[in-house]
Homo-oligomer: A and B are copies of this chain.
Amino acid sequence: MKRSERIAFLTKTLIDCPNRVFSLRVFSELTGASKTSLSEDIDILKRTFHKHQLGVIETIVGAGGGVRYKPKPSPSELESALRALLEEMQEPSRLILSDFIYYGDILFNPASLRDIALAMIVLFSEETIDGVLTIETKGVPLAMEVARLLGVRAIVARKTNRASEGVALSVHYKSFSHNTIQSMHLTKGAIEQDARILIIDDFMKAGGTIAGLKSLIAENEAHCVGSCVFMQELSRPVSFENHHYLFELRRKEQALKVALSPELSRLIEQNES
């Protein structure tokens, strides 16, 4: 393979499997190139990805070492994606019964989903994460996309307990929206002991669901890295550790207003200054 061919091959292989470590030996077998040539190729990739803010190409030295790709949006990409999403969400036609903002279509559009998941990843870039936990239904695509970009598995709790899911652990949580006690169920063993789990959901009002998901993690003797939701209704103060949200929903003079979270607004301003 020529250098330009190898560069295309390496880029494709790394991008397809975010966070997976490929050893130089494997790349050498696949391309027929020497490790020296490959090291040069990877240096080119590293510089190019860094210079054009395409994400991070990282070399891991030692046994089990190799090279991997970590998705990371450029500040300008993040900013324009978030502004476009905010504009979409502010469309008056999205207001339902002056009580909800409809955003189902946004979460099921792969292009928007990628932008939203990348924004979430930025907020947890310092953390080690082994898995992503969510609850059916609307959180599922978002959790899957975050898991894909992190290169980890997703775990989905269910609201009903089904025979086809095997032996399940069930916990109860208070749903403030419905003002009832509800239960959530998860196949036994789906969360490994000591695993570091990130909670992802589409919407949060008073935090009942997130509290339930946290107790599922605790019951499995695993560790909760933090939580992140796409949209948060700011009706009650939230006291979860390492909790983030992308958009906030406020009720002002009987109307609902969507805005970017103060945290992301600051991130964007830092980029501009």
Please, which residues of chain B bring their CB within 8 A of the CB of A97? 163
Cβ contact within 8 Å between A108 and B155: yes
Cβ contact within 8 Å between B144 and A108: yes
Is A262 located at the chain interface by the 8 A CB criterion?
A: no
Task: Tell me the chain A residues, 106-149 only, with Cβ under 8 Å from chain B.
Answer: 108-111, 113-114, 136-137, 140-141, 144-145, 147-148
Task: Tell me the chain A residues, 211-262 only, with Cβ under 8 Å from chain B.
Answer: none
A158 nearest CB neighbor, chain B only: B137
Cβ contact within 8 Å between B96 and A166: yes
- Mostly, the A contact residues are helix
Cβ contact within 8 Å between B44 and A5: yes
A187 nearest CB neighbor, chain B only: B104
Task: Tell me the chain A residues, 36-78 only, with Cβ under 8 Å from chain B.
Answer: 41, 44-45, 47-49, 51-52, 54-55
**Stretch of A8-16, A193-201, A265-273 on the interface side:** A8-16
Please, which residues of chain B bring their CB within 8 A of the CB of A158? 137
Cβ contact within 8 Å between B102 and A154: no
Please, which residues of chain B bring their CB within 8 A of the CB of A163? 96-97, 99-100
* In the complex with contacts A137-B158, A147-B110, A8-B44 CB distance below 8 A: yes
Is A7 located at the chain interface by the 8 A CB criterion?
A: yes
Is A207 located at the chain interface by the 8 A CB criterion?
A: no
Is A180 located at the chain interface by the 8 A CB criterion?
A: no
Please, which residues of chain B bring their CB within 8 A of the CB of A165? 96, 102, 104
A154 nearest CB neighbor, chain B only: B108
Is A87 located at the chain interface by the 8 A CB criterion?
A: no
Is A35 located at the chain interface by the 8 A CB criterion?
A: no
The 0/1 profile, CB within 8 Å of B marked 1, for residues 154-177 of chain A is: 111010000111100000000000
Among B11, B102, B104, B141, contact of A15 (Cβ-Cβ < 8 Å): B11
Is A153 located at the chain interface by the 8 A CB criterion?
A: yes
A3 nearest CB neighbor, chain B only: B4
Give min CB distance, A136 to chain B, whole Å: 4
Among B48, B137, B155, B187, contact of A5 (Cβ-Cβ < 8 Å): B48
How far does the alpha carbon of A99 sit from the alpha carbon of B105 in the complex, in Å? 36
Please, which residues of chain B bring their CB within 8 A of the CB of A49? 8, 12
Among B47, B111, B153, contact of A108 (Cβ-Cβ < 8 Å): B153
Cβ contact within 8 Å between A154 and B44: no
Given A102-B165, A108-B153, A140-B144: 12 more A-B contacts, CB < 8 Å: A4-B4, A4-B48, A7-B8, A12-B15, A12-B55, A16-B114, A17-B111, A102-B164, A110-B151, A141-B144, A144-B144, A144-B145
